[in-house]
Amino acid sequence: MSFLELDRVSVGFGPAGNRTEVLSDINLSVEENEFVAVIGFSGGGKSTLMNLLSGLLPPSSGEVRMAGNKVREPGPDRGLMFQNYSLLPWLSVEENVALAVKSAFPKLSKSEVTDKVKHFVKMVKLDHAGDRKPHELSGGMRQRASLARTLSLDPKVLLLDEPLSALDALTRSELQDQILNIWETDRRTVVMITNDVDEAVLMADRIIPLTMGPAATLAEEFVVNMARPRDRHTLNDHPEYMRLKSEITRFMMHLNKESKELGTTKVVPMPDIRPKDFSPPSIGPRFSHKSKQPTSAA
Amino acid sequence: MADSIKDKIKYGLLKGIDVSGFKVLDPPVRLAFGEEPRKQVGDIAKYMILPILFVLACLGIWTVMGPNHKTKSGEVPTPAKVWTAYEDNARFDERQQEKAADFIVEGAEREAVLTATTEELARLEAEAATLAEASDAVAATAKEETEALLAPLRARLDALKAEHEAAEDRREAEMNALAAEIVAGQAQPSALVDLVRENEILEDEANDAEDVIETQIKDILSDPPAEVKAAQMAANRVADEVQHYKKRIDILTKENRNVKEAEYLAKAEEDRAQLVAAEDPKKAVREAKSIARNAERAEDSKTQTYPRTATIFWQTKRSLATVFVGFGLAAALAIPLGIMCGLNRIFMACLTPIISIFRPVSPVVWLLIFQIIIGAFFPDPEKHPLFVTLNDEKWFGWIGNPLAFLQTNPAMIFSACTVAMCALWPALVNTALGVSSIDKDHMNVAKVLRLGFWSRLFKIIIPSSLPLVFAGLRISLGVGWMVLIAAEALSSSDGLGKFVWDEYQNGSSQSFANIILACFVVGIIGFFLDRIMIFLQRLVSFDDGSATA
């Protein structure tokens, strides 16, 4: 039996007759210590899926199970890391983490709590900013503080709800490495929701696409058969990486097209206008390989 | 190194200015640290000097316009007169304090004070005599001048009066002659009526002409020259001082509680001697009774204090005490109720009709209702344990009671309750809003961390609603202070409101100035109360004050 399970789960809102199905007939099973990425479009019910797994939202039908037990309410064994950090703005980084530590381990003494807090703050490299309030931190630092808080619960499952989507590309890759590092040294089950194919392929063992809503469901999974640790610098040359990326991207594009065809939204044809080239005539060498990069990525 | 310390001081100061809300002081501080002097000087000119000039202009307009408006209570006092009123009130308060101190001073210290006071009195009396003389001299010269001014007027008036009398006599004679003709049947009766009418008109005209001159004389007499007024005022001021010192000596030598005590004890001693020597049993009983009575009086006078008259400063202190009691009551009720309203929609639905109906009720109505309801709890306020305790000079016989000077009475409780009733609503509504509008993500955090009810309340709900709670409390305090002044005026509870009301009622020459003075005192205190609340609000707001700006 798998560790975390969604068994024919559906979620809908609104009264009967005018019901909007957000998720329908979702089956998912995650093994222990597995890293699963769920990839989907924005507004496709990804966060609803996360709320189901964490227990914040009860399913309309079906069952969420963890280690064989039905999930009824949220708890510290499923550490949810929120998309928008959700740090308490009146508490400093350390106090935010301490609140989590105290609630997960109520029996710890004061000094043990302090030690634990220091440990996790250091783990996400925030020890220089432990006494700062969230509004004094950058987006990446806030997300790291949020990660520290989630990890400090010592959860059996880490639920990452688009943890990095609000960050700039550089901070993002840095944090990806950090999360992977932590996961590799201290294995645990992770379910991550993302909208970034690169991120999913880099980090996950399995990638499961979520189809377009309404009534979104999980599509056929992609298994990532690449050895760990994965090095982002050499990954670009890895044939498996290239294959997965293009396959998933194609699949997602297809989903998007399908849903557009299904949907009633009329597509207004755009006029075929090319922007005028105002760039000055170049002097000196041209870095032609740079302009080629986007084509290779697509 | 020195630079970094300087910077630290600078930014510390700037932060303090920002938190306390005195943004105006920002440019001078920056200027003092030499930051962009040109810009700072410009800012100072724009945001400090111009406003100051504007206020000065307003004062100028007031000074010019005020005396032009004559009212029942005299002309509108100018800023200078209001300032004089302030000084007079300050002097009055000082004298009250001196007298109160004289009343309780004892032993060698009393002797020393007495000597100093007597010496000062002698000096003052001499000064008063010279000043009175000078004043009389000035008055005498001025009188001569006035007489010189008046003589021609009086002469003209006398001449006019004589002329009018003569004319009237003449007309009387004419009328009598005409009447005789009518009786004889030689003239028309209507002619006499015409004559009488004409006579009346002429008489009125004559009276009016006399009145004009009489008014001129009266004006000159009632408006002595400025130098006479000044001399009189100087003399009066010292005479006033002399009176005060005489009263002080009186208190020091006769009314002082220790003097009184000694007096009664001496009497008791005398009686005791008589009791021992008594031969008649009846006389012995009488003496014994007298000893007991005098001993009791001596005991009583030990703890007596001087019956002070209320001054504006004392009234201000009492108003502040009352508003804080009322505000405290309001906060103690509003915050828990507001939290419950915010947490529970059913509770909110239950309270909504009550809030909606009672919030618009005028403070005057509340005051009357509280006077009736709460008045019933204190049928005999003099003996009620609450007031006895609050007004006791010494608690348990030795701890000085810091509240004794307030002279708490039921009227103060009514006013405080009225303040509480009116200040309750803004705090309640804001707290409920703050609690019910907590970020959903924060509540999700609480759920994921499985916080219990109490830690959810104290770790999440209260901290996140504090900025709005304080915004509500700030409005409440402002409302409370406004309501209090009205409540005091109406309930005769000592305080600034009563001060204004009393001044309005007694209508002395300085009342109007005192009322305007009270207006400024109320305004300035209200301003500082608001500042304190803004400061607290900034302290508890967690995202740079933007949530509550």
Span A38-84, pLDDT tens digits: 988 877 788 888 888 888 888 888 888 888 888 888 888 888 888 88
Per-residue pLDDT tens for B123-179? 999 999 998 898 888 888 888 888 888 888 889 889 989 998 998 899 888 888 888
Contacts of A142 in chain B (CB under 8 A): none
B448/A104 CB distance under 8 A: no
- Taking residue A66's Cβ as centre, other Cβ atoms within 10 Å add up to 20
Among candidates A75, A86, A133 on the partner chain, residue whose Cβ is nearest the Cβ of B542: A133
Phi then psi dihedrals of residue B525, to 5 deg:
-65, -40
For residue A33, give its domain range: 1-77+157-171+186-264
Count Cβ atoms within 10 A of the Cβ of residue B488 and give its class: 0-12 exposed, 13-18 middle, 19 or more buried. Answer: buried
Pair of tokens at residue A32: 């222990």
Both A4 and A69 in a single domain? yes
Does residue B340 belong to the interface with chain A, where contact is any CB pair within 8 Å?
no
Would the pLDDT of B83 be above 90? Answer: yes
pLDDT band at A113 (very low <50, low <70, confident <90, very high): very high
Q: Which residue of A has its CA nearest to B440?
A: A86
Using a CB-CB cut-off of 8 Å, the residues of chain B touching A88 are 442, 445, 459-460, 463-464
Partner B, chain A 64-93, Cβ-Cβ below 8 Å: 73-76, 78-80, 82, 84, 86, 88-91
**Mutation for B interface: A85, A88, A132, A142, most B CBs within 10 A:** A88
Average pLDDT in chain B: 88
- Report yes or no: B528 at the A interface, CB cutoff 8 Å: no
Chain B contacts of A47, Cβ < 8 Å? none
A 9-28 → B contacts, CB under 8 A: none
Chain A residues closer than 8 Å to B442 by CB: 86, 88
Domain contains A293: no
Per-residue pLDDT at A290: 46
B457 touches chain A (CB under 8 A): no
Q: Which of B255, B305, B238 is nearest to B91 (CA)?
A: B238
What residues of A are in contact with residue B464 (Cβ under 8 Å)?
Answer: 88-90
Contacts of B10 (CB under 8 A, 6+ apart): B29, B30, B33, B35
- Which of A56, A91, A99 faces B447 most closely, judged by CB atoms? A56
Q: Residues B467, B547: contact at Cβ < 8 Å?
A: yes
- Residue contact A99–B449, C-beta within 8 A: yes
Residue A19 belongs to a domain? yes
- In angstroms, how far is CA A233 from the centroid of its own chain? 21
Task: Tell me: do A195 and A108 sit in the same domain.
Answer: no
User: Does the pLDDT of residue B320 top 80, yes or no?
Assistant: yes
Q: Between the ranges A172-186, B21-35, B236-250, where is the mean pLDDT highest?
A: B236-250
8-state DSSP, B24: G
Q: What is the mean pLDDT of residues B472-484?
A: 95
pLDDT at A264: 53
Q: Please report the pLDDT score of residue A43 as a whole number.
A: 72
On the 0-12 / 13-18 / 19+ scale of CB atoms within 10 A, B267 is middle
CB A50 within 8 A of CB A243: no
Q: Do B464 and A75 touch (CB under 8 A)?
A: no
Distances (CA, A) of A281 to A249, A274, A285, A289: 36, 19, 12, 18
DSSP letter at A136 equals: G
Which has the closest alpha carbon to A87: A70, A99, A105? A99
Report percent pLDDT > 70 for chain A.
89
Place of tokens 């202009």: B57
- Return the pLDDT at A266: 56
Query: In this model, does residue A297 exceed pLDDT 50?
Result: no
The pLDDT assigned to B547 comes to 38
The residue ranges of every structural domain in chain B are 2-68, 107-238, 312-540
Q: Could you give the CA distance from residue A71 to residue B448 in angstroms, rounded to a whole number?
A: 13
**Is A272 among the domain residues?**
no
Architecture of domain B312-540: Orthogonal Bundle (1.10)
Measured distance CA(A22)–CA(B186) in Å, rounded: 125
Which CATH number goes with the domain that contains A61? 3.40.50.300
Q: Which residues of chain A are within 8 Å of residue B466 when distances are taken between CB atoms?
A: 90
Q: Give me the helices (H) in A223-287, please.
A: 232-235, 239-262
Instruction: Indicate the angle between helix axes A110-123 and A93-104, nearest 10 degrees.
Output: 120
Q: Residue B333, by phi and psi: left (phi above 0), alpha (psi -120 to 50) or beta?
A: alpha
Is there a single domain that holds both residue A163 and residue A36?
yes
d(CA B547, CA B549): 6
Beta-strand relationship, A78-81 and A4-13: unpaired
Are A41 and A67 found together in one domain?
A: yes
Q: Does B226 touch chain A (CB under 8 A)?
A: no
- Do A29 and A116 belong together in one domain? no
- Shortest CA distance to A52 belongs to which of A27, A34, A19, A32? A27
Closest CA to A22 of A212, A182, A296, A208: A212
pLDDT digits (tens, 9 = 90+) for A251-273: 888 887 777 676 555 566 777 77
Instruction: Compute the distance between CA of residue B290 and CA of residue B264 in angstroms, rounded to an integer.
Output: 10
Q: If you average pLDDT over residues A161-187, what whole number do you get?
A: 84
Say whether B370 sits in a helix, a strand or coil: helix
Tokens representing B104? 């309780």
Q: H helices of chain A, where? A: 46-54, 93-104, 110-123, 139-152, 169-185, 197-203, 232-235, 239-262, 288-297
Tell which of A103, A132, A147, A151 to mutate to test the B interface (max B CBs under 10 Å): A103
**Which residue of A89, A103, A135 is in closest CB contact with B451?**
A103
User: Among candidates B444, B457, B448, which has minimal Cα distance to B344?
Assistant: B457
Compute the distance between CA of residue A244 and CA of residue A100 in angstroms, rounded to an integer: 38
pLDDT at B549 over 50: no
- Say if residue A123 is in the same domain as residue A2: no
As a whole number of Å, the CA-based R_g of chain B is 36
Residue A211 in any domain: the answer is: yes
Q: What is the pLDDT of residue A262?
A: 66
DSSP SS3 for A6: strand
Same-domain status, A20 and A149: no
A90·B464 Cβ contact <8 A: yes
CA distance B426 to B53: 36
Type and span of the H or E element at B45: none
Non-local CB neighbours of B455 within 8 Å, separated by 6+ positions: A103
| Spatial contact of B521 and B2, defined as CB atoms under 8 Å apart | no
A263 touches B at CB < 8 Å: no
State how far Cα B45 lies from the chain centre.
35
pTM: 0.77
Same domain for A162 and A150?
A: no
pLDDT at A298 exceeding the cut of 50? no
The mean per-residue pLDDT over the stretch B457-469 comes to 91
Strands, E, within B83-168: which ranges? none
Query: What is the domain count for chain A?
Result: 2
Alpha carbon distance A139, A141 (integer Å): 5
Question: Is residue A258 in a domain?
Answer: yes
**Average pLDDT of the segment spanning B362-377:** 92
CB contact A99 to B (< 8 Å): yes
Cβ B89 vs Cβ B510: under 8 Å: no
Q: Say if residue A119 is in the same domain as residue A63.
A: no
The answer to whether the CB atoms of B444 and A56 lie below 8 A apart is: yes
